[in-house]
Amino acid sequence: MRDISIIVISAVLINNIVLSQFLGICPFLGVSKKVSSAVGMGLAVTFVLTFAGMITWFVQQFVLIPLEIEYLQTIAFILVIASLVQFVEMVVKKTSPDLYKALGVYLPLITTNCAVLGVSILNIQKTYGFLDSVVNSFANAIGFTLALVLMAGIRERLEDADIPASLKGLPISLITAALMSIAFMGFTGLI
């Protein structure tokens, strides 16, 4: 149980996939304009990342390793992730058309979100077992969602702030992301 709590704390706070490992920056900056769309994207990434961690572990252990074709790992993992994203896209389109419109192009971009592929590969590189892979994937998704929602909340507040014209938009967003990254560095040494 101690190992699982270490994985969770490490993935969410210490080695946050966005703010410490700098994976998934495109949706982090693109979807973090409103908290509602950030939460929706976070839920979609959580679903995809968790199930991708499960399925890719099985693919690695029961297909790639027995057939000695580990060199096809990246291609196989991308196919798994693309299939999951298609499934999520269909579900979101049917259940929440407003969220589907709000996420726009960023929902299909989960397929190319390097955070999803990165976590799947890191699970294998760290030689995690099945349960550890699922926990690590879910915790990284929670860390991604946390960073996304925090950034969206800050960006909503910045809309009303008196910011110099040269810093409005992307420049202030990048400065904010850098400051958030520095703040998350404060968790280093927690474990």
Tell me the per-residue pLDDT of 12-58, one tens digit each, with 9 for 90 and over: 999 999 999 999 888 888 888 889 888 988 888 898 899 999 999 99
User: Which pLDDT does position 148 carry in this prediction?
Assistant: 94
Mean of the pLDDT values across residues 138-157? 95
Contact 17, 11 (CB under 8 A): yes
Helix, strand, coil in percent for the chain, rounding step 5 = 80, 0, 20
pLDDT value of position 1: 66
User: Which residues have CB under 8 Å from 21's CB, separation 6+?
Assistant: 15, 118
Residue 122 has pLDDT above 80, yes or no: yes
pTM of the model as a whole: 0.90
Q: Residue 65: CB partners within 8 Å, gap ≥ 6?
A: none
CA distance 34 to 27: 12
**C-beta of residue 23 within 8 angstroms of C-beta of residue 110:** no
Summarize the confidence of residues 66-84 as an average pLDDT: 93
Based on its alpha-carbon atoms, the radius of gyration of the chain, rounded to whole angstroms, reads 17
**What is the three-class DSSP state of 163?**
coil
In three-state secondary structure terms, 71 is: helix
Compute φ and ψ for 103, nearest 5 degrees: -75, -30
